[in-house]
Every structure is written in C-alpha cells, then in structure tokens.
Chains A and B, each alone.
Chain A
Amino acid sequence: MEKDQDKIINDVTSGEYKYGFYSDIETERIGKGLNEDVIRMISGKKNEPDWLLEFRLKAFRFWQTMKMPRWANLKIPPIDYQDIIYYAAPKQKISAAGNGEIDPELKRTFDRLGIPLEEQKYLSGVAVDAVLDSVSVKTTFKETLAELGIVFCSFSEAVKEYPELVKRYMGSVVPYTDNFFASLNSAVFSDGSFCYIPKGVRCPMELSTYFRINSANTGQFERTLLVADDEAYVSYLEGCTAPMRDENQLHAAVVEIIAEKNAEVKYSTVQNWYPGDKNGKGGILNFVTKRGMCRGENSKISWTQVETGSAITWKYPSCILRGDNSTGEFYSVAVTNNYQQADTGSKMTHIGKNTKSTIVSKGIAAGHGQNSYRGLVKVLKNATNARNFSQCDSLLMGNRCGAHTFPYLEVDNQSARVEHEATTSKIGEDQIFYCNQRGISTEDAVGLIVNGYAREVINKLPMEFAVEAQKLLQISLEGSVG
C-alpha cells in the first residue's frame, strides 16, 4: 500500500514548470557585488534626486550592521551578497516611428507569459505594469486612469513625476530599518509599481504588476507602493515568473499599502517564481516584506495570496490597524512540492478601537515540501473590542512532506476576542480511488480536491485570476497524491 502511495505521489509530482524559458534580450548589467558605489551607480542610472540616494545609503549602512534572520522554519542555503548582480535592464531598441513602442522580443516574452502589452488585447478592465529584471518596460491604460486622477506607473517614474507623494509615503509602513531583507531592498531597489487613488475615486479596473526575472545571477528587488486616499477603492494583482536555472536567485521585494479614511485596498498575488527542479536544485529565494497600514477610520486592507512558486518563500503580508473600525484580512494558499519550503503567514496589529482581522491560511505540502504557517495577532492596550479570527489548515500529500503551525498571540486589552482554529488533513488514497471509480483521472481528482480545499481563498481573487489560480494549483501539484 505504501508502495502504491509512493507511485501515485511520483506520478503527480512530475509536473513541469511552464514559464522556465529564457528570452535573449540585450541587457545592460552592472558588475557583481554590493557597496556604496554600486548604490550610487543604480541611483545615477535612474537619475534619482539626492533625497532618494540618501535614503538608499542610510538603508545600506544600516543593513551592513544586520544579520540575516534565522528564526524561520527554513533551511536557507548560504547567500553570497557580493556574488549577485544588483542591476540589469533590457536595452530597449527605439522604434523607427518613435511612438514609444517596445522591443518586439520583450513583447514576445510577455506574450508567452500570457501578458500582452497591447491594451486592446489584454483582459478587459485590467491595467498592467510589466517589470523585467530591474525596470518597468510598459504600463498600460495609463491615460485612461489619469482621467480619473489615478496615478499608475513605474516606481522610477513616480519618483520623477510625483516626488512629494513618494516622499510622504515611502518607508512609512516598512521603514528601511524594518528587517534584513527590507533594508537590503531599500538600499538597492530597482523598480516596481506606484499607484495613487485620489479621494473618493473607485478605480474602475484591476491594476496589476507582472514581475519577470530574466537575467542570470541577478537579484530582483522591486518596490511597490499603493496609496488609497479617503473613500478610495482599488483592487490590485501581482504575478511573477522566472526562467529555470540551476542556481538560486534572490528576490527581496517590499510592498507598502496605505489606506486612508473609508478607503479599501485589495491586494492579490499569484506567486509563481521558478520553484527549482524535482531534486531541489535552483529556484528563487523569495524574501518579501509586505505590509499595509489602515491609517484612517473604517479603512480596509485585504491580502490574498496564492503561493505556488519559489524554492524558499519567507513572506508575511501584514496589516497595521491604526484607524478605529478598520479591517485587515489575509487569505493564503501556499503550496510546497518537491523540495520547496515556505514559511508564510500574517501579522495583524490592532491599535485602533473596534478593529477586526481575519486570517485564513491553507497550506498544501507534497513531495518533500515543508510548509509552515507563522502568524502574530497583536492587540495593543487601547484597541478596545478588537476581534480576530484565524484559521490555519494544512493538507498533506504523501508522507515525506511536513506542515507546521506557529501561531502567536499578544493581547493587552481585556475586551479583545481572538479565535484560532487549525486542522491538518491528508488526501486519502480512498478519496482518489472514489474519483477514479467515477471516471475522473488521478490528476484531475487531485485538482478537484485541492481546489475544493482552497476554495475559500481562491474565491477572494478577482474572477479572471481565480480561474488561472485554479489551473496553477493543479499544475504545481501534478503528479503528487497520497
């Protein structure tokens, strides 16, 4: 019986990563290594103002005093920070017409990823910022959005065009001293997306950023900043992929969200960085700091993540609930297959009165995958009537994987109500057989069961992406039943 199980697991875990191709795009790269000159060089290439260079340098000096965090339930290979290229940008060929068209090879790359860069071709109602390696190559629907006063552009552009907004908000939620990877990002971040929704505006389309790592030996350090002013609403989606390579590649991003009074921000991620091969070779090391601040009363920030990629994921999208009656949500599905490891969860900090948070985490471990949920619910002294509900479920496939749960609670207000539920289950051979007997193949049965398990989270994604995410879940687990 054990043998059968192994066989089924092997069958299902043989799924291949579908975005592992490399595009031959002429790229400008700087040399490997990191020091103040490199930071000045990056800043110089982007023609940045002095205040930003200053910010980078402060971050770098601080980072040098820090040590890599070791508390996560992860086996992290040694990372030589001097052996990484910190800036790589595709050299764009300027089109003859001079109408801002982009390099056909770049366009082809994004076409292959299913992200056409022409506005008329993309899913209706979704604006895209496409980032390749260190730079944003194209932002669609910029003009349409500008009519409503919405700013949606690359981070570099925002620094030039809206320096006041960037200055006011950058680092206000994730300071450059926050943690090792956030400090590193603050020193060397290259590009990312910036979005500002003005007072009273509901953004009429989904905004999205698609991150692609293409160059070898390059780290990707993007930075995203989303601001929803009073009464504003925006739904935002982030996607990411990378070529298959034998060596690990570092990705250390920072995302900051600010929601002012009565504002609502939905942030969805479908993370599909290259996970490494079946034997655990290669893959992206994904160390990301994502945090939202509900600054105003009645504001709401909702994180939804589907994490299927990366060799290592270290990520805790969090909410600081400062405004009274503000709400924070975290919905997560994290898959670890083969030798993937994930230590992910959320941190909800209740500061304001009547603040509410929800955490729903669904871990799926297959193969030799290790999946940890780590969460902190913190209720400060003045957070009267704070409420939290956390649910952490783990699904195991086979008997070589692991699921772990590390929930932390710090409650300093007697009126708080905090609930935590956790379950662990296994996809049973008998469940698979039951499906088989009805004519459903093992692969499809796993897809059905996993999607059923993750349904609560998938339902939170914007429609167009929910379908994609379902397929992705099935593909990432292709071959892994038990």
Chain B
Amino acid sequence: MLIIKDLKAGIEGKAILKGISLEVKPGEIHAIMGPNGSGKSTLASVLVGRELVEVTEGSVTYFGKNLLEMSPEDRSKEGIFLGFQYPIEIPGVSMVNFMKTAVNEHRKHKGLEPLSASDFLKLMREKKELVEIDSKLANRSVNEGYSGGEKKKNEIFQMAMLEPKLAILDETDSGLDIDALRIVANGVNKLRRPDNSTIVITHYQRLLDYIVPDIVHVMYDGRLVKTAGKELALELEEKGYDWIKKEADNKY
C-alpha cells in the first residue's frame, strides 16, 4: 500500500532524511527504531504532510497515488492516521464535536451520509470500550488538561473511530506507565485487520513486547541502516544502538 523510494527531506535547508526506501504491505506491522534525532518523527511528518518538512528527492506512493501531492486532510480521509508524539490541546472544542466533525468528513469523502447524533454517540461508546478510555473524557475539550497517558489513549481512541488503513504511531509509548502501555497496545492489536497496516515508531523495545512487529527497521542519521524480523528489536534491547552506529558510520 505504501512505497517510499529514496526519500530525502529536510527542515529549513538542513537535510534530515538522506534516502529512505521502504515498502509496507497490507496487514504488516513495521517498527522503526533508532536513537534520538535519527529522523523517525520527520519521516512521520512527511507521510502526513506537515508543511515545515521539505521533500527534496524521492517519491512516496500510497495505493498507487502520489502521496506527496495530497493535502493533509485528504491523506487522513484516504486512511492515513498519525498518533502524535505530543497530542495537541484545543481548548473549548469538545472531543464529541471534534470527532463528529472528523468522522463525518471521512464519511463525506466516502460518499456516505453524516451519522445521526445517536448513531454517532453509539459508535463513540463502542470505541471507548475498545480502548478502555474514561467516558468522561469525551465531554472535555480535546486533550485539554489530560494526563500524558490519557492523551496517548485518546490518540488510540481517535484511531479506533477513524479506522485507518495505515496508522503511524509516533513514540506512542513515551511517557506511559506499564498499565497505560498495555491498554494502548491492546487497543492497537484489537484494531488490527488483514488489510490495514501500522508503522510503530519507537525508541524502546518495551512497546514491541505488546505490539509484535513483522519487520523491524533501525533508523540512524536519516537512513534505514538495518532491516530484519522482530528478533532485531530484542538484539537492540540487549546490545544498544552503538554497534549499529559503528556499522553505519563505516558504510557512509
């Protein structure tokens, strides 16, 4: 579904991604690991169309279409979801209102009628149970005053509501205690279907105990320097990133 070819991108003239190639097939879970500052979040930004990142070379094809030409909202409506590393607070806008607008925009895109208020609330209830989110959160403003864990759970809740084809979870595990981590991971696992895919961006192996990846990539200095099966994550946990850095530094 997603084919990235030799992607190079930067922010304000500074090269960050230095040639990334990656293919994600339906049903796969990819983990992208790597030390801080290696470009993991920048890759996520390119995929969802954040304007501050400038693509200088390469291509990204999503279901045969040129992803880079699509607006951020169209990418969302075509099924790309980003679980934010730092979810944004929007004071005054209730979760209900926010999600209703989003869900109905997605439905409109598919040529469906907007959901009635009661159907919408029913859907919200179902999905809330799925991700074990506190039902009171829905009446509060988007992310306002949420704890770190609540914010991350709220991201997974939104993912459940929008049923993406490609979910990108950017450091979803950061700032989570072990219980919250389990809830978030369970949510992701329950949402897994043979036709949807997930890219899990993470720093630590921890999350991958719960969300088992098919393929693990290591990103370092803007490149995917190693790709292997899930056992790679364990190896990294044991040996750290230094040996990979050394390997890569010799190569480039």
The CA of A438 and the CA of B105, in the complex, are separated in Å by: 9
The CA of A1 and the CA of B92, in the complex, are separated in Å by: 26
Given contacts A1-B52, A453-B91, A437 and B105 within 8 Å (CB-CB) = no
Given contacts A433-B50, A436-B73, A439-B76, A428 and B98 within 8 Å (CB-CB) = no
From residue B108, how far is it (CB to closest CB) to chain A in Å? 9
The answer to whether A440 touches B92, judged by C-beta atoms less than 8 angstroms apart, is no
The answer to whether A453 touches B92, judged by C-beta atoms less than 8 angstroms apart, is yes
- B82 is contacted by which of A430, A431, A437, A455 (Cβ under 8 Å)? A437
The answer to whether B52 touches A436, judged by C-beta atoms less than 8 angstroms apart, is no
The CA of A439 and the CA of B79, in the complex, are separated in Å by: 9
The answer to whether A431 touches B102, judged by C-beta atoms less than 8 angstroms apart, is no
The CA of A448 and the CA of B94, in the complex, are separated in Å by: 9
The answer to whether B101 touches A449, judged by C-beta atoms less than 8 angstroms apart, is no
Query: Which residues, 82 to 96 on B, are CB-close (under 8 Å) to A?
Result: 82, 84, 87-94
Q: Which residue of A lies closest to B80 (CB)?
A: A437
Interface size, B (range) = 20 to 34
Given contacts A4-B51, A431-B90, A436 and B101 within 8 Å (CB-CB) = no
> Binary interface profile of A, 415-433, with partner B (CB < 8 Å = 1, else 0)?
0000000000100101101
The answer to whether B92 touches A4, judged by C-beta atoms less than 8 angstroms apart, is no
Interface size, A (range) = 20 to 34
Query: Which residues, 38 to 57 on B, are CB-close (under 8 Å) to A?
Result: 48-52
The CA of A431 and the CA of B91, in the complex, are separated in Å by: 10
Cβ-based interface call for A452 (8 A):
yes
Cβ-based interface call for A434 (8 A):
yes
The answer to whether A452 touches B162, judged by C-beta atoms less than 8 angstroms apart, is no
- A440 is contacted by which of B87, B88, B101 (Cβ under 8 Å)? B101
Cβ-based interface call for A441 (8 A):
yes
> Binary interface profile of B, 114-158, with partner A (CB < 8 Å = 1, else 0)?
000000000000000000000000000110000000000000001
Q: Which residue of A lies closest to B143 (CB)?
A: A434
The answer to whether B162 touches A431, judged by C-beta atoms less than 8 angstroms apart, is no
Cβ-based interface call for B203 (8 A):
no
- A439 is contacted by which of B89, B94, B109 (Cβ under 8 Å)? B109
Cβ-based interface call for B106 (8 A):
yes
* Residues of chain A contacted by B73 (CB below 8 angstroms): 436-437, 439-442
Cβ-based interface call for A444 (8 A):
yes
From residue B91, how far is it (CB to closest CB) to chain A in Å? 7
* Residues of chain B contacted by A455 (CB below 8 angstroms): 92
* Residues of chain B contacted by A439 (CB below 8 angstroms): 73, 76-77, 102, 105-106, 109, 162
Top 7 A-B pairs, shortest CB-CB distance = A452-B92, A452-B93, A439-B76, A436-B72, A438-B102, A434-B88, A439-B105
Q: Which residues of A contact B (CB under 8 A)?
A: 1, 4, 425, 428, 430-431, 433-442, 444, 448-449, 451-455
12 A–B contacts, CB within 8 A, in A order: A425-B91, A433-B88, A434-B84, A437-B72, A437-B73, A438-B105, A439-B105, A439-B162, A444-B101, A448-B101, A452-B141, A453-B91
